[in-house]
Structure 1
């Protein structure tokens, strides 16, 4: 993978993996970690597992599709992003309040941010 689109795709797959990785098969988890996290090539993975590059590619594509299917149904990443955007806005609004109100509200916002 090369370029900005590759980085976006890697970030997307890693985010999906963070939320849904445990729902994948062991082989899907291993191949995704090798390819997207450890930056192995298809050929390196194929050699390590003694399968063809095409087989590695197909395993990766299937795992990516499974992750996207989970997100389309469960929307955990979408919810996570909306929640954090709301907390960011809340923190910005808190910063504009008088000092005597900030500490307690800042602690509450921090608890919300760490609740996940």
Structure 2
């Protein structure tokens, strides 16, 4: 696997883990954290838990499959990424409105609200 592909996979698994962590077994959660978040090797995890490298590999692969299955059904990551793209467009539009400072401020406030950074809408 190419280094860029490996990084993209790690980022994807970490994002999926953020959304679906609680749907994994405790052991799957632990092994994924060690492997993808903390960058432990399969051998290091196996030594830490006194099990075979193959057993760690199987737990990690099964956990990845659960995460991908959840995403294919619920699409939380895809929806999050789409929302981020729309928020970026909203930010860009707000920055382009130079002459109407009230509208610019309102667009920025909407973007903040959608990100959960602002108070309630008026």
Alignment partner, residue 6 of structure 2: 6
Kindly indicate whether structure 1 or structure 2 has the higher relative contact order, using CA contacts under 8 Å at least 6 residues apart: 1
Paired residues for 1:1-116 under 5 Å: 3-97=3-97, 98-114=100-116
Shift of 1:100: 2.7
* Structure 1 segments of 4+ aligned residues over 2 angstroms from their partners: none
Q: Offset at 1:96? A: 2.2
Give the TM-score taking structure 2 as reference length. Answer: 0.88
Q: Secondary structure at the match of 1:62?
A: helix
User: Any gaps of 5 or more consecutive residues in structure 1?
Assistant: none
What is the match of residue 120 of structure 2?
none
Contact 2:90–2:107 under 8 Å retained in 1? no
| CA distance in structure 1 between the partners assigned to 2:104 and 2:87 by the alignment | 14
What is the rounded CA distance, in whole Å, between the counterparts of 1:4 and 1:24 in structure 2?
Answer: 27
Structure number having the greater helix percentage? 1
